[in-house]
């Protein structure tokens, strides 16, 4: 290990100095909650200033001229105050995190997760923990936000239990869940969502265009291999050696220990695992039949956003960990009465207190940023600038990827961004002879790569909290410096991978083409 560290220090000396500088500067930023409060004030001021100007940009969907709304106007202030509570309560990540953590907390404190990890470590070579973790993180996209509340903290636990630095595990999992958001072997609800916007944009130019919801499946599946390979190399060769001098000073009583699994724990784990498998089997039996109440009532699709199954992912995560956690706890003896279960849930909520405070200010900022129309104006101006350059198709495609990655630093929602810029990019590239399927693939690359370095990602503060469990001094700068190598390398290599994929002519997905009109 020391030899690898020496090599890393000599080879990546400049890189480490740059990342150290990023960490120092980033950690001088205010506490995340204070930062979001400050950004809220900045947005208010900017909205006042820019509301005094007229812009030529036209909203691609409504056809109306984009105007910046003054958030300091009396009516806007009144609306802000009257909706403050609902803005916070409707902040999507809040409910997702809290409900899922109630179930995961029981499974963890009963010993179910810890015993499972120890048993897994017995059969998994230490050198393969990184790719396995990243692969699980990528597949977790199928369950919407499950990766953020389950896989990322699990990365820290697994690495710590294996004697490796837990922040490296969290970074690897974060890279797979969020940096590789558009890579997946398994189709997910995001596929038909983006395809819907792409098809609508394409029909603005050609009303006869029809696209398959899985038009990027081939590319996203192949991209999974790239993301795993990049994440594996960076974690083991760059990130973990850089963390060798970072002391783990968290509450050691709350961090899983490496202990032998006795017969009682083994019996408890496999009993709980059987209960979990039976629960999954029961769910599958309820979903598979045509006409199932868990399918989309109109299309009968399982992965549709209108399917009750997709809306129930977080409650299902809660149940699939809460019930097995209780079974494990009573058999292992960690739970002796019902009060112990409730205490485990309460303890998991105690750990979320800091995140709830940050979520309050984060929700208010994101709402204000959207209401101001500043994000919309930024997106459309950038897209129009790229269009005006009139570069060759492949160069424009790469330009779109980098532009989307930049916009993603300010506008986090994948669907919201694509709804705004697809009506510009898709018809533009169709005029250059490039298909809507290819344009959507380029968008997905740019949308994924910069997720992991923007504090405006709703789950970013939560990942900081995960890191603070092990290293108390972790701040925004620490996490950004950890994730920056993943972001930069993924952005460059994934862009090149798309061009190579296109050059070879591998299938993008079902019924997908590279050219328009299809040749």
User: What pLDDT, in 10s, does the model give residues 58-89?
Assistant: 776 667 788 899 999 999 999 999 999 999 99
41 pLDDT band, cuts 50/70/90, is very high
Q: What is the three-state SS of 303-336?
A: CCCCCHHHHCHHHHHHHHHHHHHHHHHHHHCCCC
Backbone CA torsion sign across 235, 239, 242, 246:
negative
Position 7 scores a pLDDT of 37
Place of tokens 């603070």: 468
Output the average pLDDT for the chain.
83
Task: Return the higher-pLDDT residue of 314 and 492.
Answer: 492
Instruction: Give the predicted TM-score (pTM) of the model.
Output: 0.70
Position 168 scores a pLDDT of 95
Tell me the pLDDT tens digit for each residue of 22-33: 667 766 767 767
pLDDT beyond 50 at 248: yes
How many secondary structure helices (H) and strands (E) does the chain include? 25, 0
What are the domain boundaries of the chain? 14-504
Tell me the pLDDT tens digit for each residue of 420-452: 778 778 887 887 788 999 999 999 999 898 888
* Rounded CA separation 435/430 (Å): 6
* Rounded CA separation 458/363 (Å): 8
DSSP designation for 440: H
* Rounded CA separation 13/479 (Å): 19
* Rounded CA separation 187/221 (Å): 9
Tell me the pLDDT tens digit for each residue of 147-206: 787 788 888 988 888 889 999 999 999 999 888 888 888 777 678 778 888 888 888 778
Position 498 scores a pLDDT of 95
- Angstrom CA distances, 347 to 145, 352, 406, stand at 22, 9, 39
Task: Return the higher-pLDDT residue of 319 and 23.
Answer: 319
DSSP designation for 127: G
């Amino acid at each position: 290990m020391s030899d690898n560290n020496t090599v890393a220090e000599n080879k990546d000396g400049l890189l480490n100095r740059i990342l150290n500088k990023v960490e120092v500067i980033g950690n001088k930023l205010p506490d995340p909650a204070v930062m979001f409060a400050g950004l809220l004030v900045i947005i208010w001021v900017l909205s006042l200033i820019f509301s005094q100007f007229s812009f030529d940009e036209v909203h691609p969907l409504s056809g109306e001229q984009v105007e910046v709304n003054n958030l300091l106007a009396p009516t806007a202030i009144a609306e802000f105050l009257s909706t403050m509570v609902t803005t916070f309560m409707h902040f999507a990540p809040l409910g997702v995190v809290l409900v899922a953590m109630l179930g995961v907390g029981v499974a963890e404190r009963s010993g179910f997760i810890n015993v499972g990890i120890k048993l897994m470590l017995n059969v998994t070579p230490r050198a393969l923990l990184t790719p396995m973790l990243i692969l699980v993180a990528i597949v977790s996209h199928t369950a919407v936000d499950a990766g953020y509340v389950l896989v990322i903290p699990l990365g820290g636990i697994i690495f710590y239990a294996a004697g490796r630095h837990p922040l490296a595990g969290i970074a690897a999992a974060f890279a797979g869940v969020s940096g590789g958001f558009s890579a997946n072997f398994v189709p997910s609800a995001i596929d038909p969502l983006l395809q819907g916007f792409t098809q609508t944009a394409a029909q603005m130019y050609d009303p006869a265009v029809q696209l398959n919801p899985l038009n990027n499946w081939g590319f996203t599946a192949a991209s999974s291999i790239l993301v795993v390979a990049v994440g594996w190399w960076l974690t083991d060769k760059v990130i973990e050696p850089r963390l060798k001098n970072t002391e783990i000073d968290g509450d050691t009583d709350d961090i899983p220990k490496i202990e032998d699994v006795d017969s009682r724990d083994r019996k408890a784990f496999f009993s709980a695992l059987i209960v979990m498998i039976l629960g999954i089997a029961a769910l599958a039996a309820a979903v598979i039949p045509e006409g199932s109440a868990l399918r989309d009532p109109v299309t009968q699709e399982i992965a549709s956003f209108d399917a009750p199954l997709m809306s129930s992912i977080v409650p299902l995560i809660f149940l699939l960990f809460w019930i097995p956690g209780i079974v494990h706890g009573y058999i292992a003896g960690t739970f002796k009465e019902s009060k112990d279960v409730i205490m485990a849930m309460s303890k998991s909520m105690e750990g979320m207190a800091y995140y709830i405070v940050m979520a309050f200010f984060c929700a208010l900022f994101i709402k204000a940023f959207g209401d101001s129309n500043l994000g919309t104006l930024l997106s459309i101006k950038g897209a129009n600038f790229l269009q005006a350059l009139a570069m060759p198709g492949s160069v424009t495609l790469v330009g779109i990827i980098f532009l989307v990655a930049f916009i993603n630093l300010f506008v986090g929602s994948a669907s919201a961004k694509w709804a705004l810029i697809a009506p510009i990019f898709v018809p533009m590239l169709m005029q250059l002879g490039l298909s809507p399927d290819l344009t959507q693939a380029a968008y997905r690359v740019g949308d994924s790569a910069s997720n992991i370095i923007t504090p405006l990602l709703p789950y970013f503060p939560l990942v900081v909290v995960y890191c603070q469990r092990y290293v108390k001094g972790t701040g925004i700068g620490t996490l950004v410096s950890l994730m920056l190598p993943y972001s930069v390398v993924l952005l460059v290599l994934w862009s090149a991978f798309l061009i190579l994929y296109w050059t070879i002519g591998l299938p993008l997905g079902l019924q997908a083409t590279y050219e328009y009109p299809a040749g």
